[in-house]
Amino acid sequence: MRASNNRRRTPDQILGPFFPVRCRAFASNDLTRVERGTGLAQGEVVEVRGRVLNLDGEPVRGARLTIWQANSLGRYRHANDSNPAPLDPNFLGCTRLRSSDDGSYMIKTIKPGAYPASPEWTRPPHIHFEVLGRFERLVTQMYFPGEPLNGRDRLLAAVLRPELLVATEATPQQPSGRLLNFDIVLVKG
């Protein structure tokens, strides 16, 4: 199969200072609840769906995805996060899962909040992905469409094709919340 002229590899992004090294990640695609929790995570519920593909459009079966993010107030559940925003006891902010036979994955989560990266820079809402395919590793971030901070984000502006990192709104919307699509493209898979 020949590579599509409009399919491009998903750009790399930095791993970030808050990779979940001690995250009690569980094999669940629902981040709005925690095991033995007493409630739901605070914030706007978002469902992110996508596929892990190679440049030829073939699905990458069994790709390992580690997904992590800040809570709705912009705070990571990580010892090094000095953001004074409170933690949400009903939100761990990370999970690990595998893509299905057709390369698809899905998470139900909350929209992360923006947070200060420095006194003059605020990161827009984003979700981190580490994808381990059969032949390669990709670390990237998914940004939310229509966010005013996207246009001023240093990391998003640093990539050649920033539009490849912005999810698209899927229609119709789910009754349980916003639905976004974010396909991840690797070179070989």
**What's residue 28's pLDDT?**
82
- Per-residue burial over 65-92, b if 16 or more Cβ lie within 10 Å, else e, is bbbbbbbbbbbbbbeebebebeebebbb
Tell me what the mean pLDDT of segment 158-163 comes to.
96
pLDDT in tens, 78-88: 888 999 999 99
Percent of the chain with pLDDT over 70: 90
Backbone φ and ψ for 105, nearest 5 degrees, come out as -145, 165
**What's residue 172's pLDDT?**
65
Determine whether 76 is an active site residue.
Answer: yes
**What's residue 52's pLDDT?**
98
**SS3 for 156?**
helix
Q: Tell me the two tokens of residue 71.
A: 């809570």
Tell me what the mean pLDDT of segment 89-102 comes to.
93
Backbone φ and ψ for 157, nearest 5 degrees, come out as -70, -20
Catalytic residue among 49, 51, 115, 143: 115
Catalytic residue among 49, 75, 78, 123: 123
Interatomic CA distance for residues 115 and 73, integer angstroms: 8
Catalytic residue among 51, 75, 77, 128: 128
Determine whether 126 is an active site residue.
Answer: yes
Distance between first and last Cα of the chain: 14
- Mean pLDDT, the chain, integer: 91
Please name every residue paired with 34 in a beta bridge, in sequence order, or none if there are none. none
Q: Tell me the two tokens of residue 149.
A: 């901070």
Asked whether the predicted pLDDT for residue 16 surpasses 90, the reply is no
Determine whether 105 is an active site residue.
Answer: no
Q: How many C-beta neighbours within 10 Å does residue 138 have? A: 21
Nearest to residue 135, comparing CAs of 55, 67, 26, 68? Answer: 55
Q: How many C-beta neighbours within 10 Å does residue 133 have? A: 23
Determine whether 36 is an active site residue.
Answer: no
User: What domains lie within the chain, and their CATH numbers?
Assistant: 45-185 (2.60.130.10)
Interatomic CA distance for residues 117 and 113, integer angstroms: 12
Strands 45-53 and 184-185: parallel
**SS3 for 137?**
strand
Residue 159 vs residue 15, higher pLDDT: 159
Asked whether the predicted pLDDT for residue 36 surpasses 80, the reply is no
Determine whether 78 is an active site residue.
Answer: no
**What's residue 1's pLDDT?**
45
pTM for this prediction:
0.93
Asked whether the predicted pLDDT for residue 75 surpasses 70, the reply is yes
Catalytic residue among 76, 78, 105, 143: 76
CA dist 157 to 73, 102, 109, 111, 124, Å? 23, 31, 25, 21, 12
Tell me what the mean pLDDT of segment 72-81 comes to.
92
